[in-house]
Amino acid sequence: MKCDCSAIRKAVTEDNDILAAGEFGMSDVFDKKKRSQIMSRIRSKGTKPELLFKQFLDEIGAQYEYQPSIFGKPDFLIKGGIVVFIDSKFWHGKGNVPKQNRDYWLKKLDRNRKRDREVNKRLRAEGYRVLRIEDKMVTSMLRDM
């Protein structure tokens, strides 16, 4: 493995979260129809960052379940009660908000962040440790594996 994955390794073994921050404010370069087409093709499962993280877990010999059927729909359940979410910067309110229909997006992304906090709280109450990793972080750290 060519990357320094110590941050992920540390998070998987310790009781903490990884969250990345972003900035707001971006204009859309596509018309409404084209943006709709682009957004409809975004997948929620089997994304490149998820598959890279899955490969990483295989390499370090972690025991895990991919896409487990538990509350909040985490991407991974790692042995020892660690749930991992590979979060998109945009959909989890850490990236730029489109200027077009801005009020809608601000409310939508705020609801997503609120749901993330509620999911984290419930999973912790059920005894899980919650790890949220931004997709770009996974991609940049693990792409050279």
Domain limits, the chain: 6-22+43-142
- Residue 12 identity: V
Q: What b/e readout covers 26-64, taking b as 16+ CB neighbours within 10 angstroms?
A: eeeeeeeeeeeeeeeeeeeeebebbebbbebbeeeebeb
Angle at which helices 135-142 and 48-59 cross, to 10°? 50
Cα dihedral 55, 57, 58, 59 sign: positive
For range 98-121, the mean pLDDT = 88
pLDDT of residue 45: 65
Task: Name residue 80's beta-bridge partners.
Answer: none
Provide the CATH number for the domain formed by 6-22+43-142 in this structure.
3.40.960.10
The tens digit of pLDDT for each residue in 22-71 reads 333 445 677 878 767 766 665 556 788 889 999 999 999 999 999 999 99
